[in-house]
Structure 1
Amino acid sequence: MLTTYEYDRYDGFDIIGDIHGCAETLRRLLTKLGYSEKSGYWQHKNRLAVFLGDIVDRGPHIREALAIVYGMVEGESAVCIMGNHEYNAVGYCTPAPESLGRAYLREHNKHHNRLIAETLEQFAAYPEEWREYIEWFKTLPLFIDFEHFRVVHACWDHKLIKEYLQKYATNKVNTRFITRSVDRQSFEGRLMDRLTRGTDLPLPDGRVITSKDGYQRRFFRTKFWSENPQTYSDVVFQPDPLPEDLVDQALSTDEKSRLLTYAQNEVPLFIGHYWLQGKPKPIRPNIACLDYSAVKFGRLVAYRYDGEPVLDEEKFTWIYVDPPEWRDPEPD
């Protein structure tokens, strides 16, 4: 596995958004980026692939997607950070201490069961392989600072990351850390929630949003880069719209104090997680989200980074995900 000081042996980086089991589309994207399968894994002669997490869940070829990414990481042609779905999988499959009063760190309730259903179904005949992937997930970094650019699944929080590095001296986690993170109010819980799920604000007066997939939410996802926001519409960042009467609601002083800022003079930051749509482009000159809803027949997106301080719309590359992805792959 690569260490930080080895990154400079590559001429460039191909940063790839949430895959969610779209293995056939991933193969097409890697081919388009100039990677080929040699010695049992996909590789490029002088570039490194950087996966932003969320390889598992929802899609038709999760086991195949994991095999591709894992093979590349082991072959040192890629690195992969932890997404919230890898984190969820670890919690779902890790026995809980008796003090928690449940069998596993992540409860096996109706909502959680539904989120991981496709993954468990596709690994039902490969239990030992799935156990090994769970152990591998625990080794994935939560973030990587490449000096000239940064990657994290959902949100870069300077304060929490600094405190984490001071406490743990690593960008990775372990079982003990994950067990502590079950308490959402603990430092570990707050860190995992912030880095893998992002920032949010509660809806006022106990209001509820029902998302397109039927899940009810009492909060809305927010930008962590807004400068001088005044209303909810200035900070909302999610596929599901706010109720019309809340769009222009003024942010309170307390709500403003809970927001983060990633300044425009900082190095480029790449994130996934947010289910964007449309033609890929930078969110800001130094921020790009590469999750363009691949598993919902959107696009699997990469950004070809070569050290530029200002992101270039022309350096986004993508493959559309269409219904044939959901057919069984051709046999080798």
Structure 2
Amino acid sequence: MMSADMSAASCLLSEDQFLCSICLDDFTDPVSTPCGHNFCKNCISKHWDISDRCQCPVCKKVFETRPELHINTFISDVVSQFRHETQQKSTSSSSSEQQAAKPGEVPCDICTGTKLKALKSCLVCLASYCQTHLEPHLTASCLKRHQLIDPEENLESRMCMKHDKPLELFCKTDQTCVCMLCSVIDYKTHEFAPLREECEGKKAELGKTEAKIQQMIQKRRLKIQEIKESVKMSKDAADREKAEGVQVFTTLKKTLRRRQNELIKEIEEKQETTEKQAEGFIKDLEQEFSELMRWSSSHALKITSTSSKASHP
């Protein structure tokens, strides 16, 4: 009978009513404060341990003496039943829609077993949530004020190491991120700006710088392209000049070779003409020489005969 009552009670309550407003997870060892609000026993104890006074995190009621906390067994049983039903529903409905976190991706801090891929991280809770566990931040009025960012690991780096508060301000004097208590206690005379506003300003400056860098990169790309085209044009011109030079010298060589052949032929023809003329002269001279020899011989015989007659009268 008790189980049926708890099941009916869990069906009438919404999911955010089973979440601790400090850790934003299902109640673990739920306890109730005198003002009627419920928390995990460990969460509210730690909260009061680091606080200057005992105050309810929800309604801000201050207790003069620290209340003695006892586990609320009814809420604990209802939460257990609700958790079981919720896990069954979420396993059947969201397993096909949501993906398990892959290496390099931020996993959900709330998922048990297979860690699903986180969609958002909360700077107030310092936790990352998948689609299912992010729902309270989108529906619960007390959680809607929390600052959500894209999934990010090491959210502890967003907390002030000294005061254990979110780093919500940017100290322009020291150029560093600080929490609200830092601005009040440690940096009273410094100049501050909301971290989100300063981040947006830095992003805008980086955007302008990036635009300038991209323009410089584009100019240099164009300059490189111009130089490459100039080198290509110079190479093409050099190739043309070489081709024209080779053609000129080839034509010149052909002309010189032809002229050489013509000169040799002309010299040979002159030599042949000279040789023929010499042969004609030699032939004429030899003929004259023969005639002179005959003439000389005939006159010599006549002189000899005359001399003989003169010696014998």
Normalising by the residue count of structure 1, what TM-score does the alignment of the two structures yield?
A: 0.24
Larger radius of gyration: 2
Structure with greater strand share of residues = 1
Higher helix share: 2
